[in-house]
Amino acid sequence: MAAVPDNLAGLSRIMAGLSGAGLAVYPLMVAAVFLFPGSPTDWMMFQDHLGPMLNSAVPLSFRLAALGCALPQLALGMWALWMLNRIFRRYAAGDVFSVETLRYLNHIAVALFAQVIVSFAAQAPITYLLTFPLGQGHRSISLSIGSDDIYSLFVAGVILVIARVMAVARRMADENESFV
């Protein structure tokens, strides 16, 4: 492992800490959205596709079932945060171009792509569960894709391309080193 500039190591340590904090906070926030909808702190920013369907008038059992449907996308988000934490810890230690580090970068891209797809698919059962108590004629099933989803897909694509570029750079460096 090569030495990394202090500013990269320091920034990587900060980002490792933030992604580690995200690992603790993210699942709590998602759970809070379903357990305490419409709270004064407006938890809805974490479940923007649900809009007014998720509210305290929905019985807890239906909100918990909807939360269960949201768990796969939560798991993918947690995986992305875990990989971010690991990659930033490696960067801080000077491990920038190893095979393992590049694999983590690929995992982040895959997790982000998959999270958007799984989130889209989960919307139908979640909206059905949240509107079921309204009775016949008022139940709905909805699917939507928003600018945040498109943004996540582009970010995942950028991360994937960067990982591939770094892998090429690593191979080129290995080839150059073998000639000496």
Tell me the domain boundaries of the chain.
Answer: 6-179
The Cα–Cα gap between 134 and 128 comes to: 10
| Residue 109 confidence class, pLDDT cut points 50, 70, 90 | very high
- Quote the pTM value: 0.84
pLDDT value at position 149? Answer: 86
Q: Which of 80, 83, 142 is nearest to 114 (CA)?
A: 80
Q: Which of 82, 100, 80 is nearest to 90 (CA)?
A: 100
117-172 tens-digit pLDDT? 999 999 999 999 999 988 888 888 888 888 888 998 999 999 999 988 988 988 88
Q: Under a CB-based contact definition with an 8 Å cutoff, are residues 102 and 170 in contact?
A: yes
pLDDT value at position 173? Answer: 80
